[in-house]
Amino acid sequence: MSNSIETIALHAGYNPGNGEPRQVPIWQSTTWKYSTSEDMGKLFDLEAAGYFYTRLQNPTNDFVASKLCAMEGGAAAMLTSSGQAANFFAVFNICEAGDHFIACANIYGGTYNLFGVTFKKMGIECTFVDQKLPIEELQKYIKPNTKCIFGETVTNPTVDVLDIEKFAKLAHDNGIPLIMDNTFATPVNCRPIEFGCDIVTHSTTKYIDGHASSVGGAIIDSGNFDWMAHKEKFPGLCTPDDSYHGITYAEKFGKAAYITKATAQLMRDFGCIQSPQNAYYIQLGLESLSVRMARHCENAQKVAEFLANDDRIAWVKYPGLESDSEYELAKKYCPKGTCGVLCFGVKGGREASIKFMDSLEFATIATHVADCKTLLLHPASHTHRQLSDEQLEEAGISPDLIRFSVGLEDPDDIINDLKQALDKIS
Ligand SMILES: *Cc1c(COP(=O)(O)O)cnc(C)c1O
């Protein structure tokens, strides 16, 4: 198989045999039939591989997961019902009550709340850190019970680029894995595993779907983290599981241990399965992802340059601008471009920003991002309204910040829409 992401996106995962459907079929079935009680029993013991109930595994989902796995350069992968479920499973698969983990403060609002509020209720403590700190400073946050580090490749909404190698070193120096949410960059623009990341997550709801059709998520494991070398930290993977007849995942499943455990335990107990129908839509999205990402980046670059040169704009943040704080990191980790999302503030602060947003014609206000249509949102009054001003500041979000997700329309039309809205406030 080619190593090119364009070709992998079209051909990995599903290889139909003679006379079989070219496109992945939707296996719209909850259950599978077996001839003998023993055949079925082996599946429940994880002794044989096979399908029996869609909450645990479904062939459509598996084909799509293996395509995404190939695109990320991973060893095993699973789909989840949403990006929230993916990040929940990714951390909860290795953390339990009494454990601690580190997350970059600058992450998606929903993830921030999951980690800071909901995990706390489950007895898991998260420390949020400033991702720009030098490694020696970050090291001070590591405790004996710290089990993983979490960050976003390109952060939502502030489009900061994570220094993956710095965080991979920090994690590995301390015998713990680095988990990265690669939703914004997608495997087309960055493959975090190539820079030392251990586990990648996605909200496939965003660019991967790309057409605002299906909420979904995914977890891809590189298979590179040596759990048995840090046995005492990861008893869930390295000691027998009583709920599966004493199986030790890290011994029995090798590079697939982490995903097998997440499927066998978390999917079994929490049931955040992706519907096969949605997995099918994700598969369609993956096929065109590389073409769409290139166009999103091209359009966003033009929009960013327009905004940077308009004196009614207070500031603009896009890693593709040479003056941007993220320019160098983006060149290293996302040489093809980061994504279509950018942020800016309109002069006149919060009030002017709101008036400007309400004046746009086709760029729509929506609680969504990374879509084929141009969308925008004001985090302080929408996605992040649960956060205090102090937490907003910690997450790098100013009250006037507008998150602008550049779509696939003609870039001149997008710029003209921005121009006419700016004319209304000046
Ligand atoms: C949207 C998003 C999520 C949550 O995903 P859902 O599919 O909405 O549950 C997680 N991480 C990032 C970076 C996101 O943009």
- All residues at 6 or more sequence positions from 63 whose CB lies less than 8 Å from its CB, including other chains: 13, 14, 24, 279, 283
**SS3 call for 70:** helix
Type of residue found at 166: K
Task: List the one residue out of 17, 10, 121, 86 whose CA is nearest residue 259.
Answer: 86
Pocket-testing residue among 156, 213, 270, 369, ligand 1, by greatest number of atoms within 8 A of Cβ: 156
Pocket-testing residue among 79, 81, 108, ligand 1, by greatest number of atoms within 8 A of Cβ: 108
CA 121/CA 114 separation, integer angstroms: 10
Q: Report the separation in Å between the CA atom of 210 and the middle of ligand 1, taken as the mean of its atom positions.
A: 13
Q: Report the separation in Å between the CA atom of 203 and the middle of ligand 1, taken as the mean of its atom positions.
A: 5
Q: Report the separation in Å between the CA atom of 107 and the middle of ligand 1, taken as the mean of its atom positions.
A: 10
Q: Where are the domains of the chain?
A: 5-277, 291-425
| Contact predicate 108/152, CB 8 Å | yes
**Given this model, what pLDDT does residue 389 score?**
74
Query: End-to-end CA distance of the chain, in Å?
Result: 55
Homologous superfamily of the 291-425 domain (CATH): Aspartate Aminotransferase, domain 1 (3.90.1150.10)
Task: Name the residue with the closest Cα to ligand 1, atom 6.
Answer: 83
Q: Report the separation in Å between the CA atom of 269 and the middle of ligand 1, taken as the mean of its atom positions.
A: 22
| Contact predicate 95/225, CB 8 Å | no
Pocket-testing residue among 161, 202, 203, ligand 1, by greatest number of atoms within 8 A of Cβ: 203
Q: Report the separation in Å between the CA atom of 58 and the middle of ligand 1, taken as the mean of its atom positions.
A: 23
- Ligand 1: nearest atom to the Cα of 216: 7
Q: Report the separation in Å between the CA atom of 286 and the middle of ligand 1, taken as the mean of its atom positions.
A: 17
| Contact predicate 204/275, CB 8 Å | no
**SS3 call for 270:** helix
| Contact predicate 120/174, CB 8 Å | no
Task: Name the residue with the closest Cα to ligand 1, atom 8.
Answer: 83
- Ligand 1: nearest atom to the Cα of 107: 13
Q: Report the separation in Å between the CA atom of 184 and the middle of ligand 1, taken as the mean of its atom positions.
A: 9
Q: Report the separation in Å between the CA atom of 217 and the middle of ligand 1, taken as the mean of its atom positions.
A: 8
Pocket-testing residue among 81, 84, 89, ligand 1, by greatest number of atoms within 8 A of Cβ: 84
CA 181/CA 154 separation, integer angstroms: 8
CA 144/CA 84 separation, integer angstroms: 27
- All residues at 6 or more sequence positions from 315 whose CB lies less than 8 Å from its CB, including other chains: 344, 345
Quick count: other Cβ atoms within 10 Å of Cβ 28?
A: 12
CA 147/CA 96 separation, integer angstroms: 9
- Ligand 1: nearest atom to the Cα of 152: 13
Type of residue found at 246: G
- Ligand 1: nearest atom to the Cα of 84: 9
Q: Cβ-count burial of 271 within 10 angstroms (0-12 exposed, 13-18 middle, 19+ buried)?
A: exposed
Q: Report the separation in Å between the CA atom of 347 and the middle of ligand 1, taken as the mean of its atom positions.
A: 29
**Given this model, what pLDDT does residue 23 score?**
96
Q: Report the separation in Å between the CA atom of 215 and the middle of ligand 1, taken as the mean of its atom positions.
A: 9
Type of residue found at 279: A
CA 151/CA 153 separation, integer angstroms: 7
Question: H or E stretch including 345?
Answer: strand 341-346
Q: Kindly report the CA angle at 302 between 299 and 306, in degrees rounded to 5?
A: 140
Domain 5-277 classified CATH 3.40.640.10?
yes
Quick count: other Cβ atoms within 10 Å of Cβ 49?
A: 8
CA 20/CA 264 separation, integer angstroms: 30
Tell me the pairing of strands 146-152 and 178-181: parallel
CA 312/CA 71 separation, integer angstroms: 41
- How far is residue 226 CA from its own chain's centroid? 23
- Ligand 1: nearest atom to the Cα of 156: 13
DSSP labels, 132-182: TS-HHHHHTT--TTEEEEEEESB-TTT--B--HHHHHHHHHHTT--EEEE-
- All residues at 6 or more sequence positions from 137 whose CB lies less than 8 Å from its CB, including other chains: none
Please state, in angstroms and as integers, the Cα–Cα distance from residue 140 to each residue in 133, 162, 170, 364, 397, following that order: 11, 19, 11, 43, 25
| Residues having CB within 6 Å of any atom of ligand 1 | 82-84, 87, 108, 110-111, 152, 156, 181, 183, 203, 205-206, 215, 217
Q: Report the separation in Å between the CA atom of 24 and the middle of ligand 1, taken as the mean of its atom positions.
A: 25
Task: Name the residue with the closest Cα to ligand 1, atom 4.
Answer: 83
**Given this model, what pLDDT does residue 404 score?**
96
Average pLDDT per 10 consecutive residues for the chain, totaling 426 residues: 89 94 96 91 82 94 98 98 98 98 94 97 98 98 98 96 98 98 98 98 98 97 98 97 90 96 96 97 97 98 98 96 97 98 91 90 91 92 78 80 96 97 90
Task: Name the residue with the closest Cα to ligand 1, atom 1.
Answer: 203
CA 241/CA 237 separation, integer angstroms: 8
Quick count: other Cβ atoms within 10 Å of Cβ 47?
A: 10
Q: Report the separation in Å between the CA atom of 340 and the middle of ligand 1, taken as the mean of its atom positions.
A: 16
- Radius of gyration for the chain, computed over Cα atoms and rounded to the nearest angstrom: 22
